[in-house]
């Protein structure tokens, strides 16, 4: 089967003809006028679809043909089945596939039986227009398991693809699990009541570097994870485009942890809400040294609304020694944290980055708006609106990061005393980096508290400061931690 023929067949069914074209094609199948069709009807193999008959044998027989299997409207009860090629097409939510297996079998597994004998670049999985569910509250297994077979030399199949559209999956530990799937396209789907993961892509391929890459997830709805430590999306490869999705609940919304040197991740225009730890996390584990040179990460125009949490809204973190994630852009995001003790945007081990024009609102002791650790370099933080943080808008420990046009580095924190109107407070602190040619500045504005801070280097290593209440009205500030920074003048 040529790839263009496969695409033409799918387009004929799902394109301009829509459901009418699909039904006409199904009727043609039922009459037996086209024995060589790339699509077969599960009814022709004995399935009843009446909601109480066990259709497992009929479903397995249909998928043993290696073709796409059409499921007319109805409820098909089954334990589990495996397909070597092909896929499933239904009639939207009128087609219900109900898994009855109470063990740990995965409901649907897609793989290849003899990859050496086929044109492997033309093999992939197609799933669209059906509801897949476990009959009880929670199943210990995957809803759809996509895993390529290995070639005779032990290497996985190259360019094993998948297309999943308009599918609802309920009550599985993981809704969709993929391994080494390239060019994965998932759109207009709904995952609900999963225990561990909504989507879990667990690896990419050392032999074919792009295997596992180039996934496209669009217009998805992840909601109601069974447990609060569930992760809506875990992706262990590069090339992910995660666009226009709604992610509700769980421990982490989007968790990307590459294990190979792949690049390019776009997370754009998503609504990520009610996570108990982190909204978007990019994390390279210490053992994943093969992920060196990973870069080109764009996180833009997302809305993050976190629940009570100990994590960050956006966290970019490389744990590999002597390696930094590079070319990171975080821009145009709106972040609201109800209660968090962490930093809203937290950067570790990042080189060449921009954090620009984000709107950040924090309540109840969020540490800072943007926190840059000392192992970051060559960054720019500019034009962000940050409100409500306890320790400041930006805390930067890197020598090569520019904040609002000034290269500044945190060197010391002080606790401001409570001041009444007209009172003044003077003090002196030791700052190791301070020299006669240095000037102290404060990285964020405290004018809204009616305070005015002046600081200067009085002698090497010594900085004097004066805090005055410049308001005419009575004012008593609480003790708020402020941060001195040093700027070369």
Q: Does residue 12 belong to any structural domain of this protein?
A: yes
Residue 146 in any domain: the answer is yes
Burial (CB count <10 Å: 0-12, 13-18, 19+), residue 276: middle
Share of residues in the chain with pLDDT > 70 (%): 60
- Quick one: 27 and 171 in the same domain? yes
How far CA 199 is from CA of 160, 234, 280, 396, in Å, comes to: 17, 6, 15, 35
Q: Is the pLDDT of residue 446 over 80?
A: no
Same domain, 244 and 141: no
390 contacts 364 by C-beta, under 8 angstroms: no
The string of pLDDT tens digits covering residues 108-126 is 988 765 544 444 444 568 8
The answer to whether position 415 is within a domain reads no
Provide the domain limits for residue 482. 424-488
| Number of domains, the chain | 3
Residue 83, number of CB atoms within 10 A of its CB:
24
What does the angle CA 478 – CA 481 – CA 482 come to, to the nearest 5 degrees? Answer: 115
Q: What is the mean pLDDT of residues 270-293?
A: 81
Residue 64 has pLDDT above 60, yes or no: yes
> Which pLDDT score, from 0 to 100, does residue 63 have?
92
Q: Which of 407, 433, 457 is the last residue of a domain?
A: 407
**292-346 residue pLDDT tens:** 667 788 999 999 988 766 778 999 988 777 777 888 999 999 998 866 667 889 9
Phi, psi of 11, rounded to the nearest 5 degrees = -65, -35
Can you tell me whether residue 123 is helix, strand or coil?
Answer: coil
User: In this structure, is residue 120 part of a structural domain?
Assistant: yes
In this structure, is residue 220 part of a structural domain?
no
Q: What is the mean pLDDT of residues 363-377?
A: 79
- Domain assignment present for residue 78? The answer is yes
Report the SS3 class of residue 395.
Answer: strand
211 is a domain residue? no
Helix (H) or strand (E) holding 164: strand 160-170
Q: Evaluate if residue 455 carries a pLDDT over 80.
A: no
Higher pLDDT, 90 or 27: 90
pLDDT band at 127 (very low <50, low <70, confident <90, very high): very high
Q: Are residues 397 and 433 in the same domain?
A: no
Res. 84 pLDDT band, cuts 50 70 90: confident
Confidence of residue 402 (pLDDT cuts 50, 70, 90): confident
pLDDT higher than 90, residue 213: no
Give strand pairing partners of 401: 379
The helix/strand/coil state of 362 is: strand
Q: Which of 14-28, 69-83, 230-244, 255-269 has the highest mean pLDDT?
A: 69-83
Please check the confidence at residue 99 and state whether its pLDDT lies above 90. Answer: yes
Residues 26 and 63 in one domain: yes
Domain co-membership, 37 together with 173: yes
């Amino acid at each position: 089967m040529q790839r263009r023929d496969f695409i033409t067949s799918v387009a004929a069914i799902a394109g301009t003809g829509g459901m009418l074209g699909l039904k006409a094609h199904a009727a043609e199948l039922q009459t037996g006028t086209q024995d060589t069709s790339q699509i077969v009807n599960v009814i022709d193999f004995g399935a009843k679809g009446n909601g109480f008959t066990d259709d497992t044998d009929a479903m397995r027989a249909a998928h043993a043909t290696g073709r796409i299997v059409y499921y007319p409207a109805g409820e098909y009860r089954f334990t589990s089945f495996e397909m070597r090629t092909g896929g499933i097409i239904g009639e939207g939510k009128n087609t219900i596939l109900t898994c009855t297996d109470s063990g740990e079998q995965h409901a649907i597994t897609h793989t290849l039986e003899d990859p050496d004998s086929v044109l492997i670049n033309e093999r992939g999985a197609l799933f669209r227009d059906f509801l897949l569910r476990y009959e009880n509250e929670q199943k210990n297994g995957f809803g759809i398991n996509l895993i390529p077979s290995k070639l005779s030399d032990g290497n996985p199949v190259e360019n094993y693809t998948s297309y999943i559209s308009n599918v609802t999956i309920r009550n599985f530990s993981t809704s969709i699990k993929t391994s080494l799937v390239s060019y994965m396209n998932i759109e207009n789907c709904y995952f609900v009541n999963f225990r561990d993961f909504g989507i879990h892509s667990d690896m990419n391929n050392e032999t074919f570097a792009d295997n596992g890459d180039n996934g496209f997830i669009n217009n998805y709805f992840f909601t109601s994870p069974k447990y609060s430590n569930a992760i809506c999306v875990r992706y262990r490869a590069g090339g992910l485009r995660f666009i226009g999705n709604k992610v509700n609940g769980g421990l982490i919304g989007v968790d990307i942890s590459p294990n190979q040197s792949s690049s390019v991740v776009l997370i754009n225009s998503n609504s990520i809400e009610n996570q108990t730890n982190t909204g978007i996390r990019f994390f390279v584990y210490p053992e994943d040294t093969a992920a060196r040179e990973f870069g080109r990460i764009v996180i833009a125009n997302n809305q993050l609304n976190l629940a009570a949490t100990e994590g960050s809204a956006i966290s970019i973190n490389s744990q590999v020694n002597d390696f930094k994630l590079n070319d990171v852009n975080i821009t145009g995001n709106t972040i609201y944290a109800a209660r968090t003790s962490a930093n809203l945007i937290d950067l570790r081990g990042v080189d060449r980055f921009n954090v620009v024009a984000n709107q950040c609102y924090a309540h109840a002791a969020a540490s800072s708006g943007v926190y840059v650790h000392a192992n970051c370099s060559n960054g720019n933080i500019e034009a962000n609106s940050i409100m409500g943080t306890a320790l400041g808008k930006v805390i930067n420990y890197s020598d090569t990061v520019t904040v609002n046009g000034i290269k500044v580095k945190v060197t010391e924190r002080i606790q401001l005393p409570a001041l009444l109107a007209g009172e003044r407070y003077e003090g002196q602190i030791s700052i190791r980096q301070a020299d006669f040619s240095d000037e102290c500045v404060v990285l964020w504005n405290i004018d809204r508290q009616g305070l005015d801070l002046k600081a200067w280097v009085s002698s090497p290593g010594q900085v004097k400061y004066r805090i005055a209440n410049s308001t005419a009205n009575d004012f008593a500030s609480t003790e708020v931690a402020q941060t001195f920074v040093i700027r070369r003048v």
